[in-house]
Structure 1
Amino acid sequence: MLPQVVLVLVVLYVNTVSSTSIINTLPGFSGDLPFKLETGYVGVGDLDDVQLFYYFIESEGSPEHDPLVLWLTGGPGCSGFSALVYESIGPLSFDYANSTGNKPQLKLNPFSWTKVANIIFIDAPVGTGYSYARTWEGYSNMSDTLSAAETYQFLRKWLMDHPKFLNNPLYIAGDSYSGIVLPIIVQEISDGNEDGRHPPMNIQGYVLGNPATDVDVDYNYRVPFAFRKALISDELYQLMKRNCKGEYINVDPNNALCVDDLDQYNECIADINTAQILEPLCTVSSPNPMESEWDPNDLSVNILSLPQLSRPWCRSYNYFFSYIWANDKTVQAALHVREGSIEDWQRCNKSLSASYTSDVSSSLVFHQNLIKKGYRVLIYSGDHDMVIPYLGTVAWIESLNLTVESRWKPWFVNGQIAGYKVEYTYEKYQLTFTTIKGGGHTAPEYRPEECLAMISRWFAFYPL
């Protein structure tokens, strides 16, 4: 009779999907890929009904020793490919200058985080990117907690199928809406290790960029952020503080003075690109005559129906290339995407967002629980992001009542200030918060060199 531990391992291994492929070439990239790319599916949920797609890229440094990172893109419903190719987390980017018509070209990204880490980019939750469910039940009732549970199951099965990475330091990383789900996953990993679940994971900490944490706190700090960036006047800000009593989200509709102040505020920021307030807010004529304008961030629009742009001048237009490339049948064949599993690849699936249940209004309690685990934590914020302003992030970090180990001070890349950092501790727990000067909502997309320096130093236990 097999020991109980072996039985658990055998059962888990039987349920582990073996649908993995090594990709040596990709349409749009000249020659063989100079890094190891693997794609595949991992089945999770009842009878593996949900099939989560992933891209795995081995570290270009020392794969056997460098950290293993599970990267979660925000949304919810934004593909791991978006972080891989646009946020400079992965080794490829689109070559905009040489991409024409329906033939996007790829080039190497010199600031990829895979230079210092092995990274799994996951399409999660189901309905994101190339991930799909075999039955309609697999798509139903998706929520923060269910997404976290399925992602945790994904990671367990992936590690069983890749045992050589079991001893690598493990970090969970992500940005934007991942700030809600990611701490739950880390909690699941921690609880699983303590309960003896297999495989044991060498979890060392987590990384979050411009993270959603508490909706009320995050959004409420947009007003003081707008004041600090001179988007509203001092007079209006003082009126808002007095009339709204510092509460700008859940406003009493009978508070006429506050409502009027908010109308003036909204007028001031209406044409601001909140993802990066210094960049233009771009719109084009709508392909649908029933609509007056189309927001390039509204990803429900069929990108392929838009007039082709020879040289994108707005950041949002860069996203067009991913729709063209990822929906190409030769690309899907090269990536070993299962034929017929999805109808239309989207960078961010808005239809999923519409049916998604946000059942965790604040992930702060999970951050508080994880303090006791002694993990290393890196929180970074692009300082020109108005979607999740750094002010709100600083506020909830300070509410953890940690000890300030190193006060607010600058850190440098190439002799220039790259941002400002504060270091906190509690016994063995260490949290570093840093701004990325000039960064937007997905900071590495705007400041790739500085963010590679940040993560390289942090992984290596060097001061930023």
Structure 2
Amino acid sequence: MSTFNWVFILTLTLFISRRIRCNSILSSDQSNQQQLDRVLKLPGQNFNVSFAHYAGYVNVNKESGRSLFYWFFEAEEDPSSKPIILWLNGGPGCSSIAYGLAEEIGPFHIEKDGKTLYLNPYSWNKAANILFLDSPVGVGYSYSNTSSDLLSNGDKRTAAENLEFLLKWFKRFPEYKGRDFYISGESYAGHYVPQLSQAIVGHNQKNGEKLINLKGFMVGNALIDDFHDHLGLFQYMWAVGMISDQTFKQLNIVCDFQSFVHASERCEKALEIADEEVGDIDMYSIFTPPCSGNFSRLNRLWRRRKSRTGLLRRSYDPCTEKHSTVYFNLPEVQRALHVHTTNSPLKWETCSDTVNENWNDSPRSVLNIFRELIHAGLRILIFRFFSIPLLFLFVYYISLGF
């Protein structure tokens, strides 16, 4: 064999061994980061849990330093056999940690003191592995090292960076790669969820394999089509007597075919009048007391009435958003969740006005994406109410493969 051949073989061998070693190091780094992300115990957690959970960051753009915060909960029992559900809240600009996790479907909810946790009996991690993501940057603990990024968020970049997050997250948690994967969310996630689903389907087709095994998605109380969503919202407020006939007519005239995100000045003024007429009523729960000074007295009356029917498991609390704001601003909580306090916002908020008010692209309808994904074979559910027990049953059936 010639000297050239020997040199070539030796060079190729060194290159391959170096490549294997680099991949091994990368895999080891990801495994180490997974363990670093593990949350051992939270402040105010006066109970033990049977499941592991992890919180931390995934960088989605090295150039500007954009990093998204996640909190992942394994299923209570046999997580290796359960699907994964990604939960996204909307806004745009609202935190999935604040609402989806701490107030709705997550395992940990917050007591009235803002310092103590209790277990949610309807947590979705009883039936599936649940991944909560704060997206885009500027929401919750998610951040960018480039401040102008908070002024340039929009639908396209959010979908692209949510996909980037997932690809890197599955490298950090390779044991979940190939698992049945679903996406769910509410409100403006009516945009996020189908747009991310479309990005995943496109990415899988481009690579010729299901790198993310997306099976379907679910959106609730979702913004999907501006015209019909406006129409339905105005009819609802008028039908239950929250706005006057005059305001109802005005809304339908000046907000007709208007964008929810970029409404005209006339539409904004009509919406302000409607808001004044609605007054101190919780739009998400109109038959229960709002979070106000009269809450204590009204809550006692409401609780007595409801307890007779056997429908109430805990005292109803309309102020859960306030409790979340207190809890997630506690320094000891942020340390337990591995929050990068030097990069993330100084004050944690349930929703970011900066992100919301500076939103760029937002199509007036995503129905075309729904049509595309139905033909792609995805399972899709749209709901217009929020019943935690009912949705828990739906998630349970997903976990069984129905």
Match of 2:183 in 1: 172
Aligned to 1:63: 79
**C-alpha distance in 2, partners of 1:204/1:340?**
38
Structure 1 equivalent of residue 353 of structure 2: 350
2:125 is equivalent to residue 109 of structure 1 = no
- Greater helix proportion: 2
* 2:139 counterpart of 1:152: no
The 1:251/1:54 distance shift into structure 2, 3 A limit, reads closer
Q: Secondary structure of 1:374's partner? A: coil
Question: Partner residue of 1:337?
Answer: 339
Pick from 346, 363, 367: which aligns with 1:364? 367
In structure 2, the CA distance between the partners of 1:199 and 1:134, relative to structure 1 (3 Å rule), is farther
Q: Equivalent residue for 1:307?
A: none
Match of 1:38 among 33, 54, 65: 54
Change (3 A) 1:249 1:57: same
* 1:225 alignment partner AA: Y
Q: Retained in 1: the 8 A contact 2:187–2:222?
A: yes
Q: Output the CA distance in 2 between the equivalents of 1:332 and 1:347.
A: 15
Distance verdict in 2 for CA 1:271–1:31, change over 3 Å: closer
The answer to whether the Cα contact below 8 Å between 1:40 and 1:336 also exists between their aligned partners in 2 is yes
Q: Is the 1:88–1:113 contact (alpha carbons within 8 Å) kept by the matching residues of 2?
A: no
Of the three residues 197, 218, 223, the one matched with 1:207 is: 218
* Alignment: residue pair count: 351
Distance in 1 of aligned mates of 2:138 and 2:179:
30
Structure 2 residue corresponding to 1:161, chosen from 172, 192, 199: 172
- Look up the match of 1:276: 285
Aligned to 1:74: 90
What's the offset of the Cα at 1:160?
A: 1.6
- 2:89 touches 2:100 (CA, 8 Å); kept in 1? no
TM-score normalized by structure 2?
Answer: 0.76
Q: Compute the TM-score of the two structures, normalised by the length of structure 1.
A: 0.67
Question: 2:339 is aligned with what amino acid?
Answer: V
User: 2: CA distance between counterparts of 1:210 and 1:35?
Assistant: 30
Seq. identity, %: 29
DSSP-derived class of the 1:52 partner: strand
Q: For 1:209-248, list aligned pairs within 5 A.
A: 209-229=220-240, 231=242, 236=245
159-168 vs 214-223, greater mean Cα deviation: 214-223
Distance (Å, rounded) in 1 between the aligned partners of 2:334 and 2:257: 48
* Letter paired with 1:448: I
Paired AA for residue 67 in structure 1: P
Partner of 1:420: none
Structure 2, unaligned stretches of length 5 or more? 1-11, 259-269, 295-314
Which has the larger displacement, 274-283 or 338-347?
A: 274-283
Please tell me the residue identity of whatever aligns with 1:275.
Y
Q: For the structure 1 residues 112 and 326, does the alpha-carbon distance in structure 2 shift closer, same or farther, using more than 3 Å as the test?
A: same
- State the 1:278 CA deviation: 1.9
* Cα distance change of structure 1 residues 251 and 354 upon mapping to structure 2, 3 Å threshold: closer
- Aligned partner of 1:396 in structure 2 is none
Q: Which amino acid aligns with 2:191?
A: I
- Distance apart, 1:91 and its partner CA: 0.7
| Structure 1: runs of 5 or more not aligned | 253-260, 286-311, 383-442
User: How much has 1:339 moved relative to structure 2?
Assistant: 3.3
**TM-fit CA distance, 1:374:** 0.7
Conservation of the 8 A alpha-carbon contact between 2:102 and 2:324: no
Distance, in Å, in 2 between the alignment partners of 1:166 and 1:228 is 47
Q: Distance in 2 between matches of 1:360 and 1:263?
A: 23
Residue in structure 2 matched with residue 249 of structure 1 by the alignment: 255
* Aligned equivalent of 1:381: 384
Separation in 2, partners of 1:116, 1:359 = 34
| Residue matched to 2:262 | none
* Alpha-carbon distance between aligned partners in 2 of 1:106 and 1:200, rounded to the nearest angstrom: 36
Output the CA distance in 1 between the equivalents of 2:149 and 2:52. Answer: 31
CA RMSD, 1 decimal: 3.6
CA–CA separation in structure 1 for the residues paired with 2:159 and 2:190: 11
Residues 1:54 and 1:276: Cα distance change in structure 2 (over 3 Å): same
What is the CA distance between 1:329 and its match in structure 2? Answer: 1.1
Q: Counterpart in 1 of 2:322?
A: 320
Amino acid at match of 1:148: A
Separation in 2, partners of 1:227, 1:127: 35
Distance 1:338 1:86, change over 3 A: closer
Cα pair distance change 1:459/1:83, threshold 3 Å? farther
Larger Rg: 2
1:28-54 per-residue CA deviation (whole Å, 9 max, x = no partner) reads 011444321101110012437111111
